[in-house]
Amino acid sequence: MRQRTDLQQSKRWVVKIGSALLTADGAGLDREAIHDWVAQMVALRARGIELVLVSSGAVAEGMMRLGWLSRPHALHELQAAAAVGQMGLVQAYESNFQRHGIHTAQVLLTHDDLSDRQRYLNARNTLRALLEFGVLPVVNENDTVVTDEIRFGDNDTLAALVANLVEADALIILTDQAGLFDRDPRRHADAQLLHEARASDVSLDKMVGGSAGELGRGGMLTKLRAARLAARSGAGTVIAHGREAQVLERIADGGRLGTLLLPEQETQAARKQWLAGHLQLRGSLRLDAGAVKVLRESGRSLLPVGVVAVEGEFDRGEAVACVDESGREIARGLVNYDAAEARRIMGRPSRELESILGYVGEPELIHRDNLVLT
């Protein structure tokens, strides 16, 4: 089982900060707290940890700016509040990170962005590029355009899906609770904090309830669900009180803060299992002997030069089989190019992709992170 000390070896985190923390329970953005969290994230980056920040607070900040005392129910009013509040939220992060010489980028997502394979890959590639450039992405739900049918419902869920998207090692959920208790601590003074458990443990369900506040859409139940979503790609989840002194740095040191919810499998194994068992194949790529050997023995990405034939019709981001020259499947994965483009670039070195296609999306036909041997 993974232990807290393993967080010291983590290389990529998704950090989620909730509305109640960010807005001091509705009194507008808590700029002093934001300043402190930013300083901690800067310290984590100095340790070599890549960070993606998922931030609530846009609706709450918008409500404060508009003078609303209670969260509206009409979707168009929520969207208006989000549009107003997003300006202050992004400005607060940008100005604080800029003091440390760190660039930020706003990334707004909807459920459709992560359910559609092409848009999923677009989002994934954008976030990966930002991390490679040393930029810290600040992610939020695109509240101004979503409908009830396509919204995530809460930023805990969004944070977990982003952890899947970027193959994070850990999801850190900062909230106004100390963690997951065996009973509701607001009703039971003797409630005990759970320091560590498996995310899949069904006995946890009866321990959690709904949201306690007006500002957020989530409660401990959504955080448990988020931990289970994150566990699909092998990420462990820590639920901790965001007002604890140096909370992020102490978690990185392996400190016993909050509740650690562990996945059943390590990150890479969990993602490979998901790829192997949950994708509908749309076509196949026939590989030469050299490419087959590279995939089997070196665990590298599939380059166009190793492909000798393309079968079927598929779009970018869909799943295809990789077969050897006898037609036996050796791997499967998500392609970076559609079938027509794959036929044009098969057998060609990656340096020629731009002259053939007029652009370069990715040098690989299938990146190794999106490929699993079968």
CATH at residue 36:
3.40.1160.10
Residue 348 has pLDDT above 70, yes or no: yes
For residue 295, the SS3 value is helix
DSSP 301: P
The whole-number pLDDT of residue 269 equals 60
In this prediction, residue 227 has a pLDDT band, given cuts at 50, 70 and 90, of very high
- Alpha helices (H) along the chain: 19-22, 31-46, 58-66, 75-98, 111-115, 117-132, 155-165, 220-231, 247-252, 267-277, 289-298, 339-345, 353-357
pTM: 0.74
Say which residue the tokens 């002259």 belong to.
355
CB 310 within 8 A of CB 342: yes
Structure tokens at 280: 């509908």
Domain boundary among 270, 296, 317: 270
**Rounded to an integer, what distance in angstroms lies between the CA atom of residue 323 and that of residue 333?**
12
Residues 256 and 303 grouped into a single domain: no
Residues 200 and 287 grouped into a single domain: no
Average pLDDT over residues 209-231: 69
Residues 6+ apart with CB under 8 A from 328: none
Backbone φ and ψ for 236, nearest 5 degrees, come out as -85, 150
CB 165 within 8 A of CB 114: yes
Range of 346's domain?
A: 279-373
Residues 109 and 218 grouped into a single domain: yes
Residue 311 has pLDDT above 90, yes or no: yes
Domain count for the chain, please give it. 2
Q: How do residues 148-162 score in pLDDT, each as one tens digit? A: 533 555 788 889 989
Q: How do residues 107-135 score in pLDDT, each as one tens digit? A: 988 877 776 667 777 888 899 999 999 99
SS3 string of 307-329? EEEEEECCCCCCEEEEECCCCCE
Average pLDDT over residues 78-93: 90
What single letter denotes the amino acid at residue 235?
A: A
Residues 34 and 86 grouped into a single domain: yes
The whole-number pLDDT of residue 147 equals 53
CA 57 and chain centroid, separation: 18
Give the CATH number of the domain where residue 335 resides.
2.30.130.10
Domain boundary among 270, 293, 308: 270
The whole-number pLDDT of residue 217 equals 44
Residues 283 and 252 grouped into a single domain: no
What single letter denotes the amino acid at residue 228?
A: R
The whole-number pLDDT of residue 170 equals 94
Of the listed ranges 178-187, 317-326, 355-364, the least confidently predicted one is 178-187
Domain boundary among 270, 301, 317: 270
Residues 284 and 266 grouped into a single domain: no
CB 253 within 8 A of CB 8: yes
Average pLDDT over residues 66-82: 85
Higher pLDDT, 362 or 279: 362
